[in-house]
Amino acid sequence: MHSKDRRGTAGRQSGQAAVETAIVVPMMVFMVLGIIQLGMVHNARLMTEYGAYRAVRAGIVNHGDCTLMEKAALAALLPTLPPLPDLDGRVDTLKRAIKVHGRFSQKLFDANQRLPFYQELPLFRVEVLNPSGAELGELFSTYGSRMQGREIDYDDVRDERVIEANLLSIRLTYFYELRIPFANMQLHAFYLGREYLDQLKGMQFELQRVGGRNAIQYLQDRAQGKGGDFARIVSLARKPGSQRHYVMPLVATWTMRMQSNLFNNDQHGPGRCAIGG
């Protein structure tokens, strides 16, 4: 074979390799980043389950104190929290964990301070599902009369309503921020519009067009139409530049029997976190 032919063949092979690399490398990068991001989400989900357990455990031994339940949930979520600009986020020692917990507590429970980007959403939300707010008011007025309407005896088994109310059930919603570049945007869109993914076809997800919009915009629009937390989550994802954040709500529930009397304390008591009131 002439040297000129060999050079031509080598050039064609080199060009083919470059094309194949251009096709495969982005997919491989996305797969690697996606696996890392999914692993972090799974870890955060496990910690959300643990946070719900710690919150309800704090509630049953502390009279259903809502503030203590929130602080217990925060302690469980420490390893997964976003970094604060003025604080090292490491929690690998007890001293560091206490410092991070204290700084987040200050920003979460001090009305004069806020977390840097959680303006539309709280970092997490603790809700008392049982007993509901409406039930608490009537129970305190009816069964708490022997205790000046301040508490309900968790050992009172004379009424089914009291027995049911002494099962403390909480729901913890953790608004976890996805932090792996590129994978955060893609997985966030998949989560928001998971009910509508069958409407999107093709390998080039970011280029798929639906009604004049790309796939991510389409899924965000569908999620925004649900309202509530979803609308606020989409607004965070659509902010310009560095203000943009991709947040995924992780939800866990837990139920335990009260080991202390429910207190009627509007400032810290279960009524502050109760829904259905």
- Mean pLDDT across 164-193: 88
The length of the chain is 277
- pTM for the structure as a whole: 0.82
Which of 68-72, 153-157, 185-189, 229-233 shows the lowest per-residue confidence on average (mean pLDDT)?
153-157
Predicted local confidence at residue 213, as pLDDT: 64
- Mean pLDDT across 4-9: 54
Instruction: Report the greatest alpha carbon distance in the chain.
Output: 106
Tell whether omega for the bond before 26 is within 30 degrees of 0, i.e. cis: no
pLDDT digits (tens, 9 = 90+) for 190-203: 888 776 666 665 54
- Give the residue extent of every domain in the chain: 38-272
Predicted local confidence at residue 128, as pLDDT: 93
Question: What b/e sequence results for 159-184 when a residue is b if at least 16 CB atoms lie within 10 Å of its CB, and e otherwise?
Answer: eeebeebbebbbbbbbbbbbebeebb
pLDDT digits (tens, 9 = 90+) for 90-143: 888 888 888 888 888 887 877 656 666 666 788 899 999 999 888 887 787 776
Contacts for 234-241: CB closer than 8 Å, 24+ residues apart:
234/192, 235/120, 236/117, 236/120, 236/121, 237/185, 237/188
Q: Residues 210, 161: contact at Cβ < 8 Å? A: no
At 81, is the pLDDT very low, low, confident or very high (cuts 50, 70, 90)?
confident
Mean residue pLDDT of the chain comes to 80
Predicted local confidence at residue 9, as pLDDT: 57
Predicted local confidence at residue 146, as pLDDT: 62
At 71, is the pLDDT very low, low, confident or very high (cuts 50, 70, 90)?
very high
pLDDT digits (tens, 9 = 90+) for 229-251: 888 888 888 888 777 888 999 99
Q: Which residue has the higher pLDDT, 144 or 223?
A: 223
Question: CA-CA-CA-CA torsion for 32, 35, 37, 38, nearest 10 degrees?
Answer: 170
Predicted local confidence at residue 203, as pLDDT: 44
Residue from 174, 223, 228, 222 nearest 41 by CA: 174
The token duo for 24 is 């495969």
CA distance 107 to 194: 33
Predicted local confidence at residue 30, as pLDDT: 77
CA distance 13 to 7: 10
Residue from 112, 69, 108, 77 nearest 273 by CA: 69
